[in-house]
């Protein structure tokens, strides 16, 4: 198989689902909750940090994060997502967990899982590009990006000028971001269970 064929295979939705999506969904499904509400802020913090730790350990075997890092990352994700989705913040997230609003604890854990999975897909796609696209040979980069456009261009945003692959040879971050965003819009990898 050629280098581009291997790259395209690694970027197929089914490959990403097998390598990233399924393990992340299994991590989410493997975390039992006793109640869909919390009683106080320390319990809320314990819940979100415990979930983040659980998810990380299952999707990155052999790796563990310190408790404080899990708590900080979970708070950061929830703060961003509640601001983006509900124009809220971590306090409104906590209040929803106390009252069981908008899906309560279960929905909050789903938000964490979705965000962790989306970040993993982003890193995976970037790693695939880094693995197959030589950082040194400009002509190789242009050829691979041209072939990527031919195979996967239909998934990319119209803002990506596919007529000029050389434009992306030096920095293909915009292609990676556009591809991941298109997967988020159309792919079952990102659909909730």
Q: Do the beta carbons of residue 131 and residue 120 sit within 8 Å?
A: no
Q: What tokens were used for 70? A: 């899990």
Q: For the chain, what is the largest distance between any 2 Cα atoms, rounded to a whole number of angstroms?
A: 60
Q: What is the pTM of this model?
A: 0.83
Q: Do the beta carbons of residue 47 and residue 105 sit within 8 Å?
A: yes
Domain extents in the chain: 3-190
Q: Which residues contact 5 (CB under 8 A, 6 or more apart)?
A: none
pLDDT in tens, 122-140: 999 989 988 888 776 778 8
Which alpha helices (DSSP H) does 60-137 contain, by range?
67-86, 90-99, 104-132
pLDDT in tens, 71-95: 999 999 999 999 988 788 999 999 9
Rounded to 10 deg, the angle between the 90-99 and 104-132 helix axes is 130
Q: Do the beta carbons of residue 102 and residue 96 sit within 8 Å?
A: yes
């Amino acid at each position: 198989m050629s280098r581009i064929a291997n790259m395209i295979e690694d970027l197929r939705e089914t490959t990403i689902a097998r390598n990233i999506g399924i393990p992340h969904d299994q991590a989410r499904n493997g975390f039992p909750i006793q109640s869909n509400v919390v009683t106080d802020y320390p319990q809320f913090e314990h819940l979100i940090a415990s979930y983040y730790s659980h998810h990380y350990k299952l999707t990155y075997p052999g790796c563990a994060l310190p408790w404080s890092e899990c708590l900080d990352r979970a708070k950061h994700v929830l703060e961003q997502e509640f601001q983006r989705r509900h124009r809220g913040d971590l306090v409104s997230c906590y209040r929803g967990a106390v009252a069981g609003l908008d899906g309560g604890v279960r929905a909050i854990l789903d938000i964490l899982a979705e965000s962790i999975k989306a970040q993993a897909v982003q890193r995976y796609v970037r790693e695939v590009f880094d693995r197959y696209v030589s950082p040194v040979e400009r002509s190789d980069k242009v050829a691979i990006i041209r072939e990527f456009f031919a195979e996967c261009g239909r998934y990319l945003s119209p803002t990506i000028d596919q007529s000029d692959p050389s434009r992306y040879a030096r920095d293909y971050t915009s292609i990676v971001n556009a591809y991941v965003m298109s997967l988020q819009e159309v792919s079952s990898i990102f659909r909730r269970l």
